[in-house]
Chain A
Amino acid sequence: MGSFGNIGKGNWADPTGLVQKSGASKWMDPLGLTKTAGNKESAADIAARQEMERQAKITQGISAVNSAFDSPARAAQIADLVNANKQLYTDEANRQQGNNARELKFANARTGNTGSRVAIDRGADLGEAYNKALVQGTRLAEGKGAALSQADDAARANLIALVTSGLDATTASQRAASSLQSGLDASRASANEDEIGNVFGGLADIYKNSKTRADELRAQRQLGQLYNTAPTWGYGGVG
């Protein structure tokens, strides 16, 4: 939209701008009819310029947010969380494996199975359970990393929305920022060795039965001593 009165260098009352330039307008034109608008930025020009600057700042801000979240440091943080989870789960699997290997050793001894085929089968079961625990722990650890990465993506989108709406705060095109919830449930990212469960649970009956069997044998021995009868060796075994 142009100013209707401006024609050439002057306006409708002073098309050539000569009256105004001469300074005569001060006394010849007390109403200021020849006055021409100065060569200043109009409100529309200012608004347009500000809008362009604002859009550039928003683009810049979005780029900066993306850079912050895409940084190698961020990826390293997630990788460290995954590694820490893996180590914790592996430690737990090792602890359980150690305890169970010891229990199995004594269980085999109690039931007279040391060096037997049964002992080999039990040892294989123990190894398989351990491997299962390692895979399960790794799976859980990777899941924790994925949860943290997902939370970061939500935080990135949220911050971009905030940057956009923040830089647009003085204009009418307000955009509500999305939820400020971090989206990160601590339990989803942090390890809990209980999650790995008792992967050697299947072996528990062996230990229990072996102890029961050992008690039975002990009772039989005591009975044998009491009544002077021979102990009944040579049966049982698989507890």
Chain B
Amino acid sequence: MGAAAPLIIAAAGFAANEVNNEKIREKQDQTLTQQLLRNAQRDKSAQAEVSKAITEQATSTPDDERSKLLQSFNAALAANQSTAAAGLQNPAGASNQYAKDAAAAALGIADAGDRRADLTARLDAPILQRQGETRTARELKTATDRIGDEARSDDYLTKLRLRGITGSPFLRMIAGIAGGASQTYGSGGGGGGGESPGAVSNFGSEAGTWYSDPSLWGKA
């Protein structure tokens, strides 16, 4: 082996370490990809909820509320029509003209009631409509909050999985043995092979921080 032996051993350790790091990166990448794909499904669900809410907002009108209110008001007016005209009852000995005028006044009472019902329905319907829109917004918030909770839970579990990825024990062993052997030779050349697995920062990689923090992914 001679003088080249330490270099060869160090190179072997480096190679084993690099392969192990590559495997770690690959597994981390797979783990993160799986999480991203799961989140993509959640994003679709969130998009569906948002689309539904926007569609409901865009098609929201007070017409239904107005119709229901008007129906309710008209029912109340019809049920109490005779009471409303109680003040127009013909007194004893009243003239025919009085009877005609009283009948006309009764019609006026009915018209006024209808007009009042219509106006009131027009006033209250937009308020009820907007209460419905608030309900839609609240439902959207509930649905998307739930999706966000699932994503956060998944994120926590993914971080746990990422911490558990340590690569190949066999390659770690080779890297460890090679590192130890090269130091034994004491030539001082190629000492990097004995580095512990996962310590990839010395190789110019940012994997140590980049992979372990998924929140950094895809963010400017």
**A-side interface residues toward B, CB under 8 Å?**
1, 3-5, 12-13, 31-33, 37, 41-44, 46-51, 53-54, 57, 61, 64-65, 67-69, 71, 73, 77-78, 80-81, 83-85, 87-88, 91, 148, 151-152, 155, 158-159, 162-163, 165-167, 169-174, 177, 180-182, 184, 186, 189-191
| B123, A46: Cβ atoms closer than 8 Å | no
Which chain A residues border B57 with CB–CB below 8 Å? 65, 68-69, 159
| A190, B127: Cβ atoms closer than 8 Å | yes
Q: Would you give 22 A-B contacts (Cβ < 8 Å), ordered by A?
A: A1-B207, A47-B32, A47-B217, A57-B47, A77-B62, A81-B126, A83-B122, A84-B123, A152-B130, A155-B133, A155-B137, A162-B50, A162-B137, A162-B141, A166-B141, A166-B147, A169-B42, A169-B151, A170-B148, A171-B151, A182-B131, A191-B119
| A170, B130: Cβ atoms closer than 8 Å | no
Which chain B residues border A91 with CB–CB below 8 Å? 115-116, 119
Of B21-29, B85-93, B182-190, the one contacting chain A is B21-29
| B147, A5: Cβ atoms closer than 8 Å | no
Which chain A residues border B164 with CB–CB below 8 Å? none
| A77, B126: Cβ atoms closer than 8 Å | yes
Known interface pairs A61-B54, A169-B148, A180-B137; 11 further A-B residue pairs with C-beta atoms within 8 A, sorted by A's residue number: A1-B210, A4-B18, A12-B15, A41-B33, A69-B57, A87-B119, A166-B49, A167-B43, A167-B46, A172-B219, A186-B124
Bound CA span A152–B127, Å: 11
- Secondary structure of the B contact surface, majority rule: helix
| Interface size in chain B (residues, C-beta < 8 A) | 65
Q: How far is the CB of A82 from chain B (nearest CB, A)?
A: 10
Name the one of A5, A166, A189 contacting B140, with C-beta atoms under 8 angstroms: A166
Interface core residue of B26, B46, B61, B205 (most chain A CB under 10 Å)? B46
| A182, B54: Cβ atoms closer than 8 Å | no
| B61, A167: Cβ atoms closer than 8 Å | no
| A159, B127: Cβ atoms closer than 8 Å | no
| B54, A64: Cβ atoms closer than 8 Å | yes
Q: How far is the CB of A171 from chain B (nearest CB, A)?
A: 8
Which chain B residues border A85 with CB–CB below 8 Å? 123
